[in-house]
Amino acid sequence: MTTTPAHPTQANAQQRYVVHRADLPLSCPLPSMALWNSHPRVYLPIEAEHEVQCPYCGAHFVLGD
């Protein structure tokens, strides 16, 4: 997974994430993110459009392969 820094004060400081098919099903926050100060886990449908935005935190996910 490749990330691009955005706002370091946010719970999960990245704004854009590149995920791969091996990472599916996609959820936000990702398993690697700090959960103690994040929003509830939500599963995001990325397969059809190859990109999706989290309705809670606005993180943008792009399917890399």
Domains identified in the chain and CATH numbers: 2-63 (2.60.260)
User: How confident is the model at residue 41, as a pLDDT?
Assistant: 92
CA distances from 63 to 8, 9, 18, 35, 45 (A): 23, 25, 6, 22, 11
Chain centre distance of CA 40: 13
Is residue 61 over pLDDT 80?
yes
Token code pair at residue 20: 């791969």
Whole-structure pTM value: 0.74
Alpha-carbon gap, residue 44 to 9, rounded angstroms: 24
Picking from 64, 5, 57, the residue whose alpha carbon sits closest to that of residue 35 is 57
Q: How many residues does the chain have?
A: 65
Dump pLDDT digits (tens) for 2-52. 544 343 334 455 789 999 999 999 999 988 887 777 899 999 999 999 999
